[in-house]
Structures are given as C-alpha cells and as structure tokens.
Amino acid sequence: MAGAAATVLAALLLTRMVENEYVFFAGYVVLQFVVLATAWNILGGYAGYVNFGSGAFFAVGAYTSVALIQAFQAPLLVQVVAAATVTGAMGFLVGALTLRLRGIFFSIATVAIAVICETVVINWSFVGGARGIAILQPDTPVGFASYNRMLFVAMTGFAVLAVGLARFVEISWIGRGLRAIRDSEEAAESVGVPTLRLKLAAATLSGALMGVAGAPFPLYMSFIEPVSAFSLNYAVSALAMPLIGGTASWLGPVIGAVLLGTVQQVVTVTISSELNVLVVGLVLVVYVVAAPQGILGLARRLSRREGAGR
C-alpha cells in the first residue's frame, strides 16, 4: 500500500518538476502498456489461456469512452468505470469460451471476437465509424500544467491498481488454482479446484483491466479511428511484454512493459514507427528462443548459478 501511494505521489511530483511535455506523452503510453500487459498476464500467464484479442478489449474500452462523451460529456472517472464494466462483461464471455476451447483454438476465438468488435465499430457512425472522430479535451484541471499531465497521473494510478490486483490474485488461493489449471486442467478439476469459476473470474478481471487501459485513450489522443485503436500491435505487445519479463510473477509484465514500451518510444522518435514493429518482432523471437522464462527466469538462473559456485 505504501509503495502504491509513493508511486502515485512520485508521478504527481514529476508533473510539477519536469518541463518537457513529451516525457508525459511517452510515459503515459508506457504506463498504459503496464496495465495492458499485467491484465493479459492474469489470464495468459497464470492460467495459460492466450488472449490474442487484447487490442479489441483496449479499443472497446476506448470506444465506450467515446460513446459516453458523445452522449453526455461524461467525466473521465465515469468513462473508466463504464469501460471496465463493458470489457469485463466481454472478458466473462471469453471466459465462457474456455468451456470448450483450449490452446490455440481459444486464441483463434479471441482473434475472431476482435475482428467482430472492429467491424461493429466501423459500422457505428455515432462513435465516428471508419473515419474516426475528434474528441475535445476538457479544461485542464486545477493544479496541472496540461490535461495530458493529469492523464499521466491517472494512468499511474490505474497501473498501480492493476499490478496490485494481479499481485493479490497471484499470492492468494485464486493464483494457486489458476496455476493448477495451467499445468493440468483435468488434474485440477479432479482434485476439486473450481476451474470454471476461476477461469471466469480471471477472464473478467483481465478484460476489465484492459478496458481501463483503453478508456482514457480518446482524451489522450484527442482523436480515435478504428484501424489504429484495434491495431494488432496492442495484441502482440500485450503478450510480448509478459513473455519478455516473465509470466510467472506480477513483476514480469511490469519489467517487460517498461523495457519494450520505452524501446518502442525511443525507436519511434529517433528512427521510424515501422521499425517499431521490427523491434517487437525481433525482441519477441530473441527472448522466446534465448530466455524462455523471461528476464525474471534469467535472473533467477544466474543467481542460482552464483549461489552454487560459492
């Protein structure tokens, strides 16, 4: 709790001390990936169900905000809560899919859901349809130099919340149950682990957090259109970051998101945004080949070797 409060406070202080606006612009994106990767890891890392549709959850969260802004200029907090509710329900549906589908079939089903959501949004002119829609940022709240600085602090809060929830899931009996499901669903079921209820809970929580990651996106960008909101990059990043960091612990997605997210920002600015995709691809291949358990696994292996040498 103290750590969580300190992190948010540090973010708040940062908005006072740093002049450069770009720091917050880029920092927001990295934090948004922390939320997304952490959310993915709850279902993908702990329970072993690989969601390829993270981009859709993110975008549905964002478009829930757009719909609310369009309808009655809803404030940010209302947007986030509504987005979490909608994508949480979506997550529940995905969780119900796991009744019949395992492994790659589950993953393909999530891709299908993503494409269906995208098609619906493209055909829904109220939220801008295929052409996209411009969103006006409200007045900058008192005490902040810019609206994006406020969003940066808010996203820090969401990231802390997401990581806290993931950590709670991991160390509680829920996490043990999910790990049992990942190792052998039949065995878990036969010793009395309530597999379906656990999977539904994990999928709902994971979905809701992804919606939270996407909810402030329209205000942050001031513009949103379906192709970039539903971009495959979100889906792949959400899965690449935990894999890079290590899927076994809540710390893994955070490490992966900060590393890969920062590298992506630097590459986008210094070289080009298409190389961004190359970086994700290369990093993904290198890590799954060379460090199967992610950075955390690598660190553990190194420290064990050191310990044996002494």
Partner 1 sequence: MPPELLIEAIVAGLLLGCFYAAMSIGLSVAFGLLDVPHIAHPAFLVLGAYGVFLLGQQGLDPLLAGVLLMPLFFLLGLGLYRFYHAVFEQHSDAGLRGLAFFFGVAFIVEVALIRAFGVDQRMVDAAYIGTSLQLGDMRMPTRMVIAFAVALALTGALSLYLSRTFTGRAIKAVAQDQTALALMGADPIRIKQWAFGIAMGTCALAGALLIIVGPVEPGLGRLYIGRTFCVVVLAGLGSMPGTLAAGLILGVAESVVLTSLGASWAPAVAFGLLLLVLAVRPAGLFGR
Q: Would you tell me which residues interact with partner 1 (CB under 8 A)?
A: 44, 48, 50, 97, 100-101, 103-105, 107-109, 111-113, 115-116, 118-120, 122-123, 130, 232, 236, 239-240, 243, 274-275, 277-278, 280-285, 288-289, 292
* Residue among 211 and 242 whose Cβ is closer to partner 1: 242
Rg (CA), the chain: 19
* Residue among 142 and 290 whose Cβ is closer to partner 1: 290
Is residue 269 within 8 Å of 249, Cβ to Cβ?
no
* Residue among 145 and 259 whose Cβ is closer to partner 1: 259
**Least distance between partner 1 and beta carbon 256 (Å):** 12
CA distance 249 to 231: 27
**Least distance between partner 1 and beta carbon 104 (Å):** 5
Residue 224 pairs with which residues in a beta bridge?
133
**Least distance between partner 1 and beta carbon 269 (Å):** 17
| SS3 label, residue 157 | helix
* Residue among 218 and 256 whose Cβ is closer to partner 1: 256
Q: What angle do CA 29, 31, 32 make, to 5 degrees?
A: 60
| SS3 label, residue 191 | coil
* Residue among 162 and 235 whose Cβ is closer to partner 1: 235
Closest to 153 measured CA to CA, from 11, 309, 304: 11
**Least distance between partner 1 and beta carbon 192 (Å):** 26
CA distance 202 to 187: 19
And the tokens for 265? 């920002």
**Least distance between partner 1 and beta carbon 279 (Å):** 9
